[in-house]
Amino acid sequence: MIELDTTDRMILRELSRDATQSASALGRQLGLSQPAAWRRVRRLRDLGVIKGRRLDLNREALGFGVTVFLGVKLATKGRMSIEDFERAVAAIPEVQTVEHILGLFDYRLRVVARDIADFERVLRRRIMMLPGVGEVEANVLLSEERFPGPIG
Amino acid sequence: MLDDTDRRLLRHYQHAPDLPPAELAERAGVTPATCARRLQRMRTAGVIRGNHAVIDWRALGYEVEVSLRITLDKAQPNAFDELHAAARAVPEIVEIQTFLGRVDLRLSVIARDMAHYQQLYRDHILTLPHVADIEALMHVARIKSDELLPL
């Protein structure tokens, strides 16, 4: 497991707020020289603690008024059906995330659509046509909040 | 408000949010000055809300991720706000979503191992106010997680 010191934690906190900050801006804020800040950011990236970046776009402003989470149960379970299902579902452009879960459902999908009519199209023509798909439950997203997590 | 060039820029930008500005401009086929101006305009207009580092919690020793689907006790008028406020105070809760549907809320919880999860569950989840029912779903794997919009 990777050990972080207080400065690493502050860097993670800052970069999860805004990843576009330069090493010199970051250093100024945390009382580090530009090269020292740069080295630490690079180390966190090399260790895989920072695994990438995520652009946060305003979905509504871009015409995607509806986000729906679908719980999907597979009707048939075998190695082949799971692989076929995963490949096919990941290829649907409106499906933003696919998570394999244990519990009430087998998969959790995040789906974006322009409106409810558009969502119905995606559900009927894409999701319900997936190989092996069984029971589907839909919950429409109303609000969403993300937090930096237990950085300390 | 957005034209084809804006959408093209966003398409490239969301696929590679860590591209240096000059390279992003080149991929989208615009000059660096145009690229910078358009991105700035979209930031001001709130179309681009942020660019966030993604932390790999597994690399930091958090092996367990659980989705808690919560049904609220709607007889309580402030149930929603009070639960939201209490959940916000738990650092291991990394996401709170609210829904229209069979469940009211979903909390995404991370923990170092099952023992840690059990402790979080007992000390911070079961003590959340106005919960009528909780269902736990354990994450096994992420098949797709880029969250790209089909622009």
Predicted complex ipTM: 0.89
Please check whether residue B15 lies inside any domain of the structure: yes
Pick the CATH number of A6-46 from 1.20.1530.20, 1.10.3720.10, 1.10.10.10, 3.40.50.620: 1.10.10.10
Q: What is the mean pLDDT of chain B?
A: 94
Residues of A within 8 A of B67 (CB-CB) are 101, 108
- Please indicate whether, in this complex, the C-beta atoms of A101 and B137 are within 8 angstroms of each other: yes
Strand locations in B10-130 (E):
48-55, 64-72, 93-100, 105-111
Mutate which of A5, A12, A42, A62 to disrupt the B interface (most B C-beta within 10 Å)? A62
Number of domains in chain B: 2
B68 and B125 together in one domain? yes
B27 and B69 together in one domain? no
Task: Tell me the domain boundaries of chain A.
Answer: 6-46, 60-140
pTM of the model: 0.90
Other CB atoms closer than 10 Å to residue A106's CB: what's the count?
Answer: 23
Domain span at B15: 4-44
> Domain containing B13 — which CATH number?
1.10.10
- Element at B57 (helix H, strand E): none
Please check whether residue B107 lies inside any domain of the structure: yes
Burial status of residue B11 (CB atoms within 10 A of its CB: 0-12, 13-18, 19 or more): middle
Distances (CA, A) of B61 to B27, B108, B110: 37, 17, 10
Q: What is the pLDDT of residues B85-104, one digit of tens each?
A: 999 999 999 999 999 988 99
CA A21 to chain centre: 22
B73 and B108 together in one domain? yes
Residue numbers of B between 16 and 35 with CB closer than 8 Å to A: 17-18
Residues of A within 8 A of B94 (CB-CB) are 146-147, 149
Collect the ranges in chain B with pLDDT lower than 70.
Answer: none
Contact of B148 with chain A, judged by CB distance below 8 Å, is answered with yes
Assess if CATH 3.30.70.920 describes domain A60-140: yes
